[in-house]
Chains A and B, each alone.
Chain A
Amino acid sequence: MIRPPLPRWLLLPVTAAVVFLAVPLVALLARVPWMRLPALLSAPAAVDAFLLSLRTCAVTTLVCLVLGLPLALLLSRGTGRWAAAGRTLSTVPMVLPPVVAGLALLIALGRREPLGGWLAAGGIDLAFTTTAVVIAQTFVAMPYLVVSVEGALRSTPDDYAITAATLGASPTTVLWRVSLPLVAPAVASGAALAFARALGEFGATLTFAGSLQGTTRTLPLEIYLQREVDTDTALALSVVLIAIAALLVAVTARFSRGAWSRP
């Protein structure tokens, strides 16, 4: 089938859009000291930041799955005021300025605040720990998983779950063997998005968790520091972040294409 063509004049704004998006990336890549890249990236601080980012983002993604999937399941069934409120609550961190997210976490969990003080009294001191990094990342990343999975669940016809129930499957069996497998592509892309968002997390971590090599200084924080100290290292680390982000976006696209076709 040949679709009616788009008007040719669209090329003008399209070109502008492409230039707009590509120029900053190309400019950054052009400034990267490629010859020194291996040396810059193998510096202990860079390696530590990279490994810390991978570690915390992996844990964050896991936490997002464990907590976010049940939330998405519940929200996908919800109607009315409470569901709307729940949906708003679970998407707000997505659009919150990072600094605001950090401030909110600090006020909630800071050592001098009621909840944080109570935790500290119980021997759980989050300040300046890797756990704090994971908390900050989870706070901003979980919405991506929830929104992605909830949307997929909503667009899944009810009759799969109904059929499974009539076949004798308990709610738990329906969940594990039908509902979740049906949205597996969305779970995968949601997890990839959450990982990507966690990887880019900066403001909340800086405000809430601090910055110490190997403990709380993730890739973005290392870049932020190196921008003040050694621009070349900052550029080299930026290349790493761009590469991982591109990879994750490609993975996400792959999974959304691979969605189950519905017979």
Chain B
Amino acid sequence: MSSLGVHAALAGRGVDLALDVAEGSVTALVGPNGAGKTSLLHLVAGLARPTSGSVRIADREVAGTTWVPVHQRRVALLTQRPALFPHLDVLANVAFGPRSGGATAADARTRALAELDAVGCAGLASRRPQDLSGGQAQRVAIARALATDPDVVLLDEPLAGLDVAVATEVRHALAARLRGQTSLLVTHELLDIWTIADQVAVLEGGRVVESGPAAELLARPTSAFLGRLSGTNLFTGTALGDTVLQIAPDVNLHGLPDPDQPLTVGLPGLASIQPAAVALHLADPGGSPRNHLAAEVTGIEPRGHYVRVNLTVAGQPLAADLTGQAVAELALRPGLRVLAAFKATQVRLYGR
């Protein structure tokens, strides 16, 4: 059963989207700026009216032949800005939704405290929004959004404004709170997909060009998907130890575990390597790098001051950034077999 169905166009913006989301699924929306990700959220929230087609939430048509205004749609919206009401304290902010929904003051308060507790912010109940850090504010915003029992949660790059350490914290809070909650998550971050989403939809030019389970796309990323993820190499596999990920039979990656998301032996894991950290050799150079992978060149793209070399490793794509001089010295060409080497300290390993 589909919990969310968008089959709608916004003629003026060149947007024509088709997406069905199963109940309880968190779908990551990826795509370049202007691809229609935010338009999709607006169509669902009721902030944009489709010029044709319809939008259904929990099997109720909210746009199309009928029009349900924002406040009757039971959607929650989280953006980069927490937008906590500055004239209300934290508790009143979170209780705002239940109160608007008709709950008594006491019930709304109880619910708000529970939601704050669930994101680890119970101690902030009497604070003013102005006195919160960015991460605290975003967690309170999560509590506020979920206090209304929304049918769909819409997230528009909710972690984009936070620095890395804080984003990690909030990411975990989100992952925990969104489990089983039908959601759409606009993001450019691989980690968000890995940690929070179970489905991915790739948008381009106002259309959904690809969609499927997140695990599959991470294991066998298509170019459309990869192209959207800020050029990070990633490998999925099974954890053999704290610092070892098996990405194919007899192909192991050594790396450093992410302190917040360590690997668990026998469970899936994800590895990421920056293309600039990958060195290519014609013969085994020996030396210190822990990782030496047999690779085949599939393409060479000059990019100004460096050259992006595309390769395959154990059936998964790998990108390496080299100087033009190095490419010439190695006489790299498509079909050439090489060794890709990188230090274990350049590989980040994430458990789930």
Contact = CB atoms under 8 A, between A and B. Distances in A.
A160 B85 contact: yes
Contacts of A184: 87
B317 interface: no
Given A166-B75, A166-B76, A178-B85, A263 B96 contact: no
Nearest to A164: B96
A230 interface: no
Contact of B100 (A168, A261, A262): A168
A166 B83 contact: no
Contacts of B76: 166-167
Contacts of A167: 71, 76, 96-97, 100, 144-145, 148
B287 to A, nearest CB: 50
A260 B83 CA distance: 13
A55 B106 CA distance: 41
Interface in B38-89: 45, 47, 69-77, 79, 81-88
Given A162-B47, A168-B100, A173-B100, A263 B82 contact: yes
B130 interface: yes
A159 interface: yes
B186 to A, nearest CB: 15
A157 B81 CA distance: 10
A201 to B, nearest CB: 33
Interface string B109-123: 000000000000000
Nearest to B131: A263
B86 A169 contact: no
Interface string B125-154: 000011010000100000011001010000
Contact of B96 (A169, A260, A261): A169
Contacts of B34: none
Interface in A23-70: none
A263 B77 CA distance: 17
Contacts of A159: 79, 81, 83
A167 B148 CA distance: 7
B contact residues, range: 20 to 34
Contacts of B101: 168
Nearest to B84: A263
A162 B70 CA distance: 8
Interface residues of A, number: 24
A170 interface: yes
Contacts of A162: 45, 47, 70, 77, 83
A82 B32 CA distance: 37
Contacts of A173: 100
A262 B85 CA distance: 9
A263 B137 contact: yes
A263 B128 CA distance: 10
A113 B145 CA distance: 58
A239 B145 CA distance: 55
Contacts of B132: 263
A114 interface: no
B87 A260 contact: yes
Nearest to A169: B100
A163 interface: yes
Nearest to B137: A263
Contact of A168 (B45, B79, B84, B97): B97
B133 to A, nearest CB: 10
A262 B97 contact: no
B71 A260 contact: no
A181 interface: yes
Interface in B289-316: none
Interface string B170-192: 00000000000000000000000
Contacts of A181: 85, 87-88
Given A162-B70, A166-B77, A177 B96 contact: yes
A173 B98 CA distance: 13
Interface string A150-175: 00000001011011111111110110
Contact of B85 (A166, A168, A182, A261): A182
Nearest to B153: A166
Instruction: List 8 A-B pairs, minimum CB-CB distance, nearest first.
Output: A167-B97, A260-B86, A165-B70, A169-B100, A159-B83, A168-B100, A181-B87, A166-B77
Given A160-B83, A260-B86, 17 more contacts: A160-B85, A162-B47, A162-B70, A165-B69, A165-B70, A166-B45, A167-B71, A167-B145, A168-B74, A168-B100, A168-B148, A169-B96, A170-B71, A174-B71, A184-B87, A263-B84, A263-B86
Interface of A: 157, 159-160, 162-171, 173-174, 177-178, 181-182, 184, 260-263
8 contacts: A162-B47, A162-B70, A165-B70, A168-B100, A181-B85, A260-B86, A262-B86, A263-B130
